[in-house]
Structure 1
């Protein structure tokens, strides 16, 4: 706080929200991951990679782009891609645009596996998150979160 730019203290509701966010960011992915591993034998990181690929044009993405969309390092994404490739759920192929780059491509088996796991993911997301937001303007909340994520 400076004399030229005074900052108002947080209200109790604001402070409660700010204190709850780190817990949410830690607990929610862990809870969903535990459900996915227990019910589908698929970690959330693998589910997320398959889901992102399913939404990509031609079900393919550059490895770096996939890592970014999954909020992982390239080395972390490489480990996940190796596991998924070993299960026949993705293939890694040289990029058409750049012979040095690699693309991850969702296979038909990967799409089928994603569809099989989707109900477990949906139920977990509802149970651990969406069911707790009854009465909240979700569109407004989504815009606010996106604004924070984009503008930091």
Structure 2
């Protein structure tokens, strides 16, 4: 039997869904307008910048971004064309490839990052009180734990 949403649940669900979309749309637009970089590319550059030797297996990038390997491969191709990433063969695995963040890629990330942080502050953090933002963190972590526990 379906447990339909009551009026309060419906209001909360719709507000959450719309706010999530709008925040992501604003962050994506700002990143594209200010840094000329789609959010997927930014995310990949961040992941590589935080990895040891600025290097990750392509399969790890797919796992971290929850993307299909073909989507990551396409994105890395575009990043290679920009000179921001290079691919290297993974020693000991003929089919394995590594993505390596280049110095040019790190420089592009360093240009994009301040604008991205400003956008996150403007469209999310500064719109909430410190207590609301703390609660948002707790709620987000609870959702993340729930949604990833069965993986």
- Name the TM-score, length of structure 1 as normaliser: 0.82
Which has the higher mean CA deviation after the structures are superposed, 136-145 or 63-72?
Answer: 136-145
Q: What residue is the counterpart of 1:30 in the other structure?
A: 25
Q: What residue is the counterpart of 1:124 in the other structure?
A: 119
In the alignment, the residues of structure 2 paired with residue 77 and residue 8 of structure 1 have an alpha-carbon distance, to the nearest angstrom, of 38
In the alignment, the residues of structure 2 paired with residue 145 and residue 55 of structure 1 have an alpha-carbon distance, to the nearest angstrom, of 24
Match of 1:102 among 97, 100, 103: 97
In the alignment, the residues of structure 1 paired with residue 31 and residue 96 of structure 2 have an alpha-carbon distance, to the nearest angstrom, of 31
SS of equivalent residue, structure 2 residue 66:
coil
Match of 1:149 among 140, 147, 150: 147
In the alignment, the residues of structure 1 paired with residue 56 and residue 20 of structure 2 have an alpha-carbon distance, to the nearest angstrom, of 26
SS of equivalent residue, structure 1 residue 96:
coil
Q: What residue is the counterpart of 1:113 in the other structure?
A: 108
Unaligned runs of 5+ in 2: none
The CA deviation at 1:151 is 3.5
Match of 1:39 among 34, 37, 48: 34
Which has the higher mean CA deviation after the structures are superposed, 115-124 or 62-71?
Answer: 62-71
In the alignment, the residues of structure 1 paired with residue 121 and residue 70 of structure 2 have an alpha-carbon distance, to the nearest angstrom, of 31
Contact 1:67 1:74 in 2 (8 A): yes
Pairwise CA RMSD of aligned residues? 2.3
Match of 1:70 among 65, 88, 91: 65
- Name the TM-score, length of structure 2 as normaliser: 0.83
Q: How many residues align?
A: 147
The CA deviation at 1:8 is 9.9
Residues 96-151 of structure 1, C-alpha deviation per residue, up to 9 Å, x if partnerless? 24121111111111111111110111011112222223131244234323223324
Match of 1:140 among 131, 138, 146: 138
